[in-house]
Homo-oligomer: A and B are copies of this chain.
């Protein structure tokens, strides 16, 4: 059997850059103490590392101002819950989402809709071309003015790079809260708060996905200092301990309990690796392999590939189905007979099934590449699929 071909990078990028492993092992062994400004040297060193990691993230989104805040959470799911559950829902009547959103968004909005009186609208996209139906959206916005828009930057199922700016532009006059889930994009495509994301209020990031860091560190970046989120998790902050109220502002309001310092160190190393490798090179590599993958899959008879018509808006993740097979059957065969790791099913994105005809019943097979995928991996994968 061939070597392991890992094509589940949309779930978690694997492997990570070597420097992530060595940094984590070093910090675990030598510096893994509880961070604290007023404490001993090692604790202060941990603190410096945290602040440095915030700075690297702000640089990555092209932050120029001083008032953007990076908040670390243990997972992007918790970051999304913190942002969505932290909002003042009294003021929100209409929430718009794309059909590509993840259950971290959709189940949380669904849960909040039981407690608050708002409507969830699905932004219209053409289900063949994936193009935004902007005229329709304009009408929808006029009829039910948007108070919040939540968009994935890149779909975790289809690899579609969503037209963030186009949606935000159409909504601009209604001044909604704009949340962009960059779990699959930050570190690969430009997440630029002076351009494509210039109207964004909150960016969600996941350390272990497109940022090539470890599991256990994620967060959100608040770009609008006028929105003060309620805290949803309460606990110790290592300061003002006799006060039962959480800090009223600053990162500590949301960063509760002990910092996961070796995970943050891993993310720090990953961010430096992205800088050294150059994000444009990472993009170029993943883009090239994505193109080969799409082209080759499309050339096989009986395979339906779910990608946007304009492949300029696509990277990294390819969803497809094979005539005559359930997605899960293909996954099992690829694993058992070819040592190829893909995901099958609905990929935690509840509305994509309804959006993409053909996957509705059994979901799709999803192959997702990373910077450490090479052309030979893609060839082996294509050969395996062809043999089915």
Contacts and interface: CB of A to CB of B under 8 A. Distances in A.
A106 B32 contact: no
Contact of A12 (B32, B80, B328, B348): B32
A75 interface: yes
B75 A258 contact: yes
Interface string A335-377: 1000011111111111001000000000100000000000000
Interface stretch (A121-129, A158-166, A227-235, A278-286): A227-235
Contacts of A75: 74, 256-258, 260
A242 B40 contact: no
Nearest to A209: B258
Given A21-B28, A24-B28, A28-B21, A236 B107 contact: yes
Nearest to A353: B242
Given A8-B34, A39-B343, A244-B106, A21 B14 contact: no
Given A33-B14, A75-B74, A241-B348, A81 B215 contact: no
Nearest to A257: B77
Given A12-B34, A216-B216, A341-B40, A241 B347 contact: yes
A232 B232 contact: yes
Interface in A208-254: 208, 214-216, 231-238, 241-246
Contacts of A238: 348
A32 B215 contact: yes
A193 interface: no
Contact of A108 (B38, B110, B234, B343): B234
A265 to B, nearest CB: 11
Interface in A1-15: 4, 6, 8, 11-12, 14-15
A77 B236 contact: yes
Q: Would you call the interface of chain A mostly helix, strand, loop, or mixed? A: loop
A168 interface: no
A30 to B, nearest CB: 9
A305 interface: no
For chain A, give the interface size range: 35 or more
A102 interface: yes
A303 interface: no
A108 B40 CA distance: 28
A311 interface: no
Contacts of A347: 241
Given A29-B15, A348-B238, A40 B215 contact: no
Contacts of A36: 343
Interface in A174-201: none
Contacts of A341: 33, 39-43
Contacts of A246: 107, 111
A169 to B, nearest CB: 29
B331 A40 contact: yes
Given A110-B244, A349-B241, A235 B80 contact: yes
A236 B102 contact: yes
Nearest to A218: B257
A353 B331 CA distance: 59
B28 A256 contact: no
Nearest to A345: B241
Contacts of A12: 32-34, 258
Given A33-B341, A238-B348, 5 more contacts: A4-B42, A32-B215, A39-B331, A104-B235, A235-B348
23 contacts: A12-B32, A14-B33, A15-B29, A16-B32, A24-B25, A38-B345, A39-B331, A39-B341, A39-B343, A40-B334, A75-B260, A77-B236, A77-B256, A78-B233, A81-B234, A102-B236, A103-B234, A107-B234, A107-B246, A215-B216, A241-B349, A241-B350, A242-B353
